[in-house]
Amino acid sequence: MRLRTSLAAAFGLLAAILAGGPASAGQTKIAVAANFTDAANEIATAFKAKTGHEAVLSFGSSGQLYTQITQAAPFEIFLSADAARPKKAVEEGFAVAESRFTYAIGKLVLWSKDGALVTGEATLKDGKFAKLAIADPKAAPYGAAAIETMQALGVHDQIQPKLVQGSSITQTYQFIDTGNAELGFVALAQVVGQDAGSRWLVPQELYAPIKQDAVLLKTGAENEAAGAFLAFLKSPEALAIIERYGYAHGDQS
């Protein structure tokens, strides 16, 4: 009698797992702009806890990722650092038009590990440094915003010989972190939890808003996990994570 009861309980547990547990969970592959690395990792963890689905994340500059998408990389969602490339993905037939929305609005920061170096725009105008790091402006929107900022302040020409370019905002941060550049322009999200060093939050009027758009790629149009991730990205739980990393969030309607 006891054996039959144990077997019945075991079969009941197995049926429950098969019906709605991890065995039924899916997976989606997501191309993510490098500036959103930490936030995306936290969102992916929360997404799995909430839905059972797994988000497999690949990071890089938006330009690099878009090139990979056009070359049949197996991504199903694109979280860009700009609005232009997701729009282009729709126009060129790689993405689902009605799926595109702004998931975050990025903020640019001039940052140094030296606690006394960055005091504001005067740091750029004084030019008392040997190397300033930016992300490749052709591939990374934060690099383009850095160029816009220097041009708006009238210091681009004098600083240009001192610029070192990272292939992505992650590499740009590494240049500064390792001392290969005394300072540089990075995403606020990369330094939002740090007390050390010095920083200047660049005023929004000095560069065009960094609207970061998400889009469902046609390769993921039939994947339940991909649709679930985009829906989760609009949820209060995900928005709280996005804001905690220093982003504003866009129109989530």
The reply to whether domains 25-105+210-244 and 108-201 share a CATH topology is: yes
Domain ranges of the chain: 25-105+210-244, 108-201
Give the pLDDT confidence score for residue 16 in this predicted structure.
Answer: 37
Tens of pLDDT along 44-56? 999 999 999 999 9
| pLDDT tens for each residue of 79-120 | 999 999 999 999 999 999 999 999 999 999 999 999 999 999
Question: Residue 16 is encoded by which pair of tokens?
Answer: 């429950």
pLDDT at 170 over 90: yes
Predicted TM-score (pTM) of the model is 0.83
Q: Tell me the pLDDT tens digit for each residue of 123-161.
A: 999 999 999 999 999 999 999 999 999 999 999 999 999
What is the CATH architecture of 25-105+210-244?
3-Layer(aba) Sandwich (3.40)
- Section 220-226 average pLDDT: 97
Pick among 3.40.190.10, 3.30.70.260, 3.40.50.1370, 3.40.50.280: CATH of 108-201? 3.40.190.10
In the chain, which ranges are E strands? 27-33, 54-60, 77-79, 101-106, 108-112, 132-135, 163-166, 183-187, 198-201, 210-216
- φ/ψ of 70, rounded to 5, equals -70, -15
Instruction: Look at residue 11 and tell me whether its pLDDT is greater than 90.
Output: no
